[in-house]
Amino acid sequence: MDAPPPDTHAILPLAVLEAMRNLDSPTDEEAAEYVDEMLKKRLGLSDTVAAQIARYDLGVRRGRPVSPEEFEQILRLAGRRPDAALVFADAGRRASRRAMAQLGLPTRLGARYLPRFVRRAIGFRAARRCLREVFAASLVREEGAVVARVGHGMPVQATPDGAACGFYAAGIAELLRNLMSFDGAVRHPWCRARGDERCEWRTTDAPSGGA
Protein backbone atom coordinates (compact mmCIF):
# COMPACT_ATOMS: atom_id res chain seq x y z
CA MET A 1 0.00 0.00 0.00
CA ASP A 2 1.48 3.32 -1.09
CA ALA A 3 2.12 5.91 1.60
CA PRO A 4 -0.03 9.06 1.51
CA PRO A 5 1.63 12.30 0.41
CA PRO A 6 3.59 14.09 3.16
CA ASP A 7 1.08 16.95 3.24
CA THR A 8 -2.68 17.12 2.79
CA HIS A 9 -4.42 20.15 1.31
CA ALA A 10 -6.42 21.96 3.99
CA ILE A 11 -9.43 21.99 1.66
CA LEU A 12 -10.05 18.30 2.40
CA PRO A 13 -10.52 18.35 6.20
CA LEU A 14 -12.29 21.70 5.89
CA ALA A 15 -14.85 20.22 3.49
CA VAL A 16 -15.56 17.23 5.74
CA LEU A 17 -16.13 19.37 8.82
CA GLU A 18 -18.26 21.86 6.88
CA ALA A 19 -20.40 18.97 5.65
CA MET A 20 -20.83 17.71 9.21
CA ARG A 21 -21.86 21.18 10.35
CA ASN A 22 -24.28 21.50 7.46
CA LEU A 23 -25.97 18.17 8.17
CA ASP A 24 -26.16 18.87 11.90
CA SER A 25 -27.63 22.35 11.45
CA PRO A 26 -31.25 22.43 12.63
CA THR A 27 -34.26 23.22 10.53
CA ASP A 28 -36.40 26.16 11.59
CA GLU A 29 -38.75 23.77 13.41
CA GLU A 30 -35.89 22.12 15.26
CA ALA A 31 -34.43 25.47 16.24
CA ALA A 32 -37.76 26.46 17.74
CA GLU A 33 -38.13 23.15 19.58
CA TYR A 34 -34.66 22.72 21.08
CA VAL A 35 -32.66 25.07 23.20
CA ASP A 36 -29.17 26.12 22.17
CA GLU A 37 -27.38 23.80 24.58
CA MET A 38 -29.17 20.75 23.20
CA LEU A 39 -28.28 21.69 19.62
CA LYS A 40 -24.62 22.08 20.55
CA LYS A 41 -24.53 18.42 21.51
CA ARG A 42 -24.51 17.73 17.80
CA LEU A 43 -20.85 17.34 16.93
CA GLY A 44 -21.03 19.44 13.77
CA LEU A 45 -22.29 22.40 15.82
CA SER A 46 -19.74 22.09 18.62
CA ASP A 47 -17.24 24.80 19.49
CA THR A 48 -14.42 22.36 18.71
CA VAL A 49 -15.60 21.83 15.14
CA ALA A 50 -16.16 25.57 14.70
CA ALA A 51 -12.58 26.25 15.80
CA GLN A 52 -11.20 23.60 13.47
CA ILE A 53 -13.22 24.94 10.55
CA ALA A 54 -11.78 28.40 11.18
CA ARG A 55 -8.26 26.98 11.36
CA TYR A 56 -8.58 25.00 8.13
CA ASP A 57 -10.22 27.92 6.35
CA LEU A 58 -7.23 30.07 7.29
CA GLY A 59 -4.94 27.28 6.13
CA VAL A 60 -6.63 27.25 2.71
CA ARG A 61 -6.28 31.00 2.33
CA ARG A 62 -2.63 30.98 3.41
CA GLY A 63 -1.63 27.81 1.61
CA ARG A 64 -0.87 25.84 4.77
CA PRO A 65 -1.31 22.05 4.45
CA VAL A 66 -2.13 19.65 7.24
CA SER A 67 -0.61 16.29 8.06
CA PRO A 68 -2.16 13.19 6.48
CA GLU A 69 -2.62 11.74 9.96
CA GLU A 70 -4.82 14.68 10.92
CA PHE A 71 -6.99 14.28 7.84
CA GLU A 72 -7.25 10.54 8.42
CA GLN A 73 -8.58 11.19 11.93
CA ILE A 74 -11.28 13.46 10.52
CA LEU A 75 -12.28 10.87 7.92
CA ARG A 76 -12.47 8.27 10.67
CA LEU A 77 -14.62 10.59 12.81
CA ALA A 78 -17.04 11.20 9.95
CA GLY A 79 -17.09 7.49 9.12
CA ARG A 80 -18.47 6.65 12.57
CA ARG A 81 -21.62 8.70 11.98
CA PRO A 82 -24.85 6.94 10.96
CA ASP A 83 -25.13 9.47 8.11
CA ALA A 84 -21.50 8.99 6.99
CA ALA A 85 -22.50 8.47 3.35
CA LEU A 86 -24.29 11.84 3.30
CA VAL A 87 -21.36 13.57 5.00
CA PHE A 88 -18.83 12.21 2.52
CA ALA A 89 -21.00 13.00 -0.51
CA ASP A 90 -21.57 16.59 0.61
CA ALA A 91 -17.91 16.98 1.59
CA GLY A 92 -16.63 15.73 -1.75
CA ARG A 93 -18.72 18.25 -3.63
CA ARG A 94 -17.62 21.04 -1.31
CA ALA A 95 -13.94 20.14 -1.72
CA SER A 96 -14.26 20.15 -5.50
CA ARG A 97 -15.96 23.53 -5.56
CA ARG A 98 -13.18 24.99 -3.42
CA ALA A 99 -10.55 23.35 -5.64
CA MET A 100 -12.16 24.84 -8.75
CA ALA A 101 -12.23 28.28 -7.12
CA GLN A 102 -8.43 28.13 -7.03
CA LEU A 103 -8.18 27.74 -10.80
CA GLY A 104 -7.37 30.82 -12.83
CA LEU A 105 -10.29 32.78 -14.24
CA PRO A 106 -9.32 32.07 -17.91
CA THR A 107 -9.40 28.32 -17.20
CA ARG A 108 -12.77 28.48 -15.48
CA LEU A 109 -14.28 30.59 -18.25
CA GLY A 110 -12.72 28.46 -20.97
CA ALA A 111 -14.12 25.26 -19.49
CA ARG A 112 -17.57 26.83 -19.53
CA TYR A 113 -17.88 29.04 -22.61
CA LEU A 114 -15.46 27.96 -25.36
CA PRO A 115 -16.54 25.59 -28.17
CA ARG A 116 -17.33 22.08 -26.98
CA PHE A 117 -14.18 20.25 -28.07
CA VAL A 118 -11.91 23.00 -26.72
CA ARG A 119 -13.96 23.34 -23.55
CA ARG A 120 -13.66 19.66 -22.70
CA ALA A 121 -9.93 19.54 -23.38
CA ILE A 122 -9.39 22.53 -21.08
CA GLY A 123 -11.78 21.05 -18.54
CA PHE A 124 -9.95 17.72 -18.48
CA ARG A 125 -6.63 19.40 -17.76
CA ALA A 126 -8.26 21.57 -15.08
CA ALA A 127 -9.92 18.56 -13.42
CA ARG A 128 -6.62 16.67 -13.51
CA ARG A 129 -4.88 19.58 -11.84
CA CYS A 130 -7.52 19.87 -9.10
CA LEU A 131 -7.34 16.17 -8.36
CA ARG A 132 -3.55 16.16 -8.29
CA GLU A 133 -3.07 19.29 -6.20
CA VAL A 134 -5.99 18.98 -3.79
CA PHE A 135 -7.08 15.34 -3.68
CA ALA A 136 -3.64 13.75 -4.31
CA ALA A 137 -5.29 11.69 -7.06
CA SER A 138 -4.54 11.12 -10.72
CA LEU A 139 -6.81 11.48 -13.75
CA VAL A 140 -6.21 9.77 -17.11
CA ARG A 141 -8.09 8.63 -20.19
CA GLU A 142 -8.30 4.90 -20.79
CA GLU A 143 -10.32 3.03 -23.42
CA GLY A 144 -12.80 5.86 -23.90
CA ALA A 145 -13.32 6.45 -20.19
CA VAL A 146 -11.99 9.02 -17.74
CA VAL A 147 -10.27 7.21 -14.87
CA ALA A 148 -9.32 8.62 -11.47
CA ARG A 149 -7.04 6.80 -9.04
CA VAL A 150 -5.95 7.35 -5.45
CA GLY A 151 -2.54 5.77 -5.08
CA HIS A 152 -2.52 5.65 -1.29
CA GLY A 153 -4.73 3.80 1.16
CA MET A 154 -5.91 6.62 3.41
CA PRO A 155 -9.66 6.27 2.67
CA VAL A 156 -9.60 2.60 3.66
CA GLN A 157 -7.20 3.11 6.56
CA ALA A 158 -9.68 5.63 7.99
CA THR A 159 -12.82 3.65 7.13
CA PRO A 160 -12.11 -0.06 6.57
CA ASP A 161 -15.56 -0.49 5.02
CA GLY A 162 -14.61 1.99 2.30
CA ALA A 163 -17.13 4.64 3.35
CA ALA A 164 -14.60 7.45 2.83
CA CYS A 165 -14.28 6.41 -0.82
CA GLY A 166 -17.61 8.19 -1.23
CA PHE A 167 -15.81 11.45 -0.49
CA TYR A 168 -13.52 10.96 -3.48
CA ALA A 169 -16.31 9.67 -5.71
CA ALA A 170 -18.42 12.77 -5.08
CA GLY A 171 -15.44 15.06 -5.58
CA ILE A 172 -14.47 13.45 -8.88
CA ALA A 173 -18.02 13.56 -10.22
CA GLU A 174 -18.42 17.22 -9.23
CA LEU A 175 -15.22 18.20 -11.03
CA LEU A 176 -16.19 16.34 -14.20
CA ARG A 177 -19.70 17.76 -14.22
CA ASN A 178 -18.53 21.34 -13.80
CA LEU A 179 -15.35 21.29 -15.88
CA MET A 180 -16.16 18.77 -18.62
CA SER A 181 -19.97 18.95 -18.90
CA PHE A 182 -20.05 15.30 -17.88
CA ASP A 183 -23.50 13.87 -17.23
CA GLY A 184 -22.84 10.14 -16.87
CA ALA A 185 -22.17 7.99 -13.81
CA VAL A 186 -18.89 7.49 -11.94
CA ARG A 187 -18.36 3.85 -10.91
CA HIS A 188 -15.94 2.50 -8.30
CA PRO A 189 -14.94 -0.86 -9.80
CA TRP A 190 -11.69 -1.20 -7.84
CA CYS A 191 -11.53 -0.60 -4.10
CA ARG A 192 -8.95 -1.49 -1.47
CA ALA A 193 -11.78 -2.15 0.97
CA ARG A 194 -12.79 -5.09 -1.25
CA GLY A 195 -9.24 -6.39 -1.39
CA ASP A 196 -8.24 -4.77 -4.68
CA GLU A 197 -4.77 -3.32 -5.15
CA ARG A 198 -6.01 0.23 -5.71
CA CYS A 199 -9.00 2.55 -5.48
CA GLU A 200 -10.18 3.56 -8.93
CA TRP A 201 -13.18 5.46 -10.28
CA ARG A 202 -14.25 5.23 -13.91
CA THR A 203 -16.85 7.09 -15.94
CA THR A 204 -19.48 5.04 -17.74
CA ASP A 205 -20.00 7.59 -20.51
CA ALA A 206 -16.85 9.68 -20.89
CA PRO A 207 -17.10 13.01 -22.71
CA SER A 208 -15.10 13.35 -25.90
CA GLY A 209 -12.12 15.64 -26.33
CA GLY A 210 -8.35 15.47 -25.92
CA ALA A 211 -6.05 16.02 -23.00
**Per the domain annotation, does 130 fall within a domain?**
yes
**Per the domain annotation, does 211 fall within a domain?**
no
Strands 186-190 and 145-150: unpaired
The pLDDT confidence band at residue 159, using thresholds 50, 70 and 90, is very high
**Per the domain annotation, does 1 fall within a domain?**
no
pLDDT of residue 151: 87
pLDDT at 130 over 80: yes
Identify the CATH number of the domain in which residue 154 sits: 3.90.1520
Where are the extended beta strands (E) located within the chain?
137-142, 145-150, 186-190, 199-203
**Per the domain annotation, does 103 fall within a domain?**
yes
Can you spell out the DSSP letters for 178-199? HHH---S-EEEEE-GGGT-SSE
What is the count of structural domains for the chain? 1
Q: Report whether 185 contacts 205 (CB < 8 A).
A: yes
Query: Which of 40-49, 58-67, 112-121, 138-147: highest mean pLDDT?
Result: 58-67
**Per the domain annotation, does 61 fall within a domain?**
yes
Instruction: Provide the residue range defining the domain that includes 140.
Output: 11-203
Phi then psi dihedrals of residue 190, to 5 deg: -120, 130
Mean pLDDT of the chain: 86
**Per the domain annotation, does 6 fall within a domain?**
no
**Per the domain annotation, does 4 fall within a domain?**
no
**Per the domain annotation, does 198 fall within a domain?**
yes
